[in-house]
Amino acid sequence: MQHQIVPPIPSKNMIAEEIPQWLNTSVYLNISHNMITGIEPGAVMSTYVVDLSYNMLNSFPNSLSFNGLVYLSIKNNSVSGEIPASMCNITQLRLVDFSNNKFSGQIPTCFFNLSLVIVKLQNNQLQGQIPELTDNIRHSFQALDLSENRLEGLIPKSLGHCEGLAFINLGKNKLSGDFPSWLSKLPKLGILVLRSNFLSGAINFSFEESPFQGLCMLDISTNQFSGKLPMSLLLSLNAMKTFDISHARMVGVHNILGYGTAWEVGMTIKGATLSYQDEIWFFMNTIDLSNNYFEGEILEEIGDLKWLQALRISNNKLRGSIPKNFGGLQQLESLDLSHNHLSGEIPEELTKLNFLEYLNLSYNNLVGRIPQSLQFSTFDAGSFEGNPSLCGPPLLLPCEANESTTSIPFLVLKQANEERMWKYTSVALGFGVGFGTTISFSLFLNNGRGFDILWRRCYCPWA
């Protein structure tokens, strides 16, 4: 369906008070970034795009009539109360952005009966369970953001039937249950954020399943996942193995009647929470498994994720050494393995990561000398603290005073001294035996008299 785009009502004009009943446009109403406080009851908006974002709305009329509405944004206001059930009557609606308000109550079940493309309800006070999705929305759905609410219960399995889904953010809720493995076959899924929930259990995938082929952002941090580190899952992330422009634009800017609708997601990278939007042509390939109960070792094959840019597995129960194949992660900018039980030395291969801006290996059981290079010289002591057997700059502990680095040279020196001492002792014993033999033989030749005298003096002094 094509519509002629007419010039919008300019935003950012300090328009205040309520929207009057008579205000109407044929296609496009954009009065965002003003000081609008409400909408008069009985107002009819026969328009396709309504943008009331960044105003001072504190309520949304339940009886508001929208004829043919396709796009509705009231993000960044102070609207409270429940999502109006009348929204379910807007059958042409494709995009809803109610983010950053104070909506409470449950998401209307009928809400997901519509042919929605993008739903953004993040940062509200919504409660209850996420409704199951019907066939109407399964064929059109592309992006879902319900993060930063109070939603609970299980993640609906019907999400796994939405083959067009490219963006899912359910972070910072109270969701429970197992890892949603049924999402693994979604061909276009590029971003999956489930952080800060109560999800639990082990994550098991086999290499044959090849899950999440297009995933570029995976954040399951701050849950209760346990068991072995899900290496089969990580090593199946083919979008992080080779650069593909189609993956970089997988969750691109959607245009509805010429109006851009961007997604946004915050990720903890480089020691801070950074916000990424789809306006940028390329976004970070990130994996965040931190603050769980994963155990076991990190396999060498992790180095196959050559386009991985940020890896965070801190605050788990990992053991073993840091793989040398980390040196193959040439695009890596942020690495956080802190608060685990990793042992062994820091691989010299990490010094080859020229783009590495943030490194945190603190509070493990690492030993030996910290590698020295131009890149490593940029990291402060906080990157290595909590490893009692690490030495060298930027730590204050010099390597010559550290047992883990001086024990081997000491043993070598001790062995060399022992060999030298045995050599000298052997020479001395040989000389003594030879000298004694010579004297004894000389005395014996002297008719035995000297030997007899010597024997009497040494062993028979009374004779």
Q: What is the pLDDT of residues 49-98, one digit of tens each?
A: 888 899 999 988 776 667 788 899 999 999 999 998 888 888 889 999 99
| pLDDT for position 54 | 93
Model confidence pLDDT, tens digit, residues 174-216 = 999 999 999 998 989 999 999 999 999 999 887 667 789 889 8
| pLDDT for position 79 | 95
Tell me which amino acid residue 438 is: T
The answer to whether the CB of 220 falls within 8 A of the CB of 288 is yes
Task: State which fold the 1-117+128-138 domain adopts.
Answer: 3.80.10
3-state secondary structure the chain: CCCCCCCCCCCCCCCEEEECCCCCCCCEEECCCCEEEEECCCCEECCCEEECCCCCCCCCCCCCEECCCCEEECCCCCCEEECCHHHHHCCCCCEEECCCCEEEEECCHHHHHCCCCEEECCCCEEEECCCCCCHHHHCCCCEEECCCCEEEECCCHHHHHCCCCCEEECCCCEEEECCCHHHCCCCCCCEEECCCCEEEECCCCCHHHCCCCCCCEEECCCCEEEEECCHHHHCCCHHHCCCCHHHHCCCCCEEECCEEECCEEEEEECCEEEEEECCCCCCCCEEECCCCEEEECCCHHHHHCCCCCEEECCCCEEEECCCHHHHHCCCCCEEECCCCEEEECCCHHHHHCCCCCEEECCCCEEEEECCCCCCHHHCCHHHCCCCCEEECCCCCCCHHHCHHHHHHHHHHHHHHHHHHHHHHHHHHHHHHHHHHHHHHHHHHHCCCHHHHHHHHHHHCCCC
Stretches in the chain below the pLDDT threshold 50 = 1-10, 249-253, 257-258, 279-281, 401-463
| pLDDT for position 112 | 87
CATH (residue range 166-401) = 3.80.10.10
Q: What does pTM read for this prediction?
A: 0.81
Distance between CA 108 and CA 262 in Å, rounded? 24
Mean pLDDT of the chain: 79
Residue 95, φ and ψ in degrees, nearest 5: -130, 130
| pLDDT for position 438 | 41
Distance between CA 187 and CA 182 in Å, rounded? 12
| pLDDT for position 244 | 62
| pLDDT for position 155 | 97
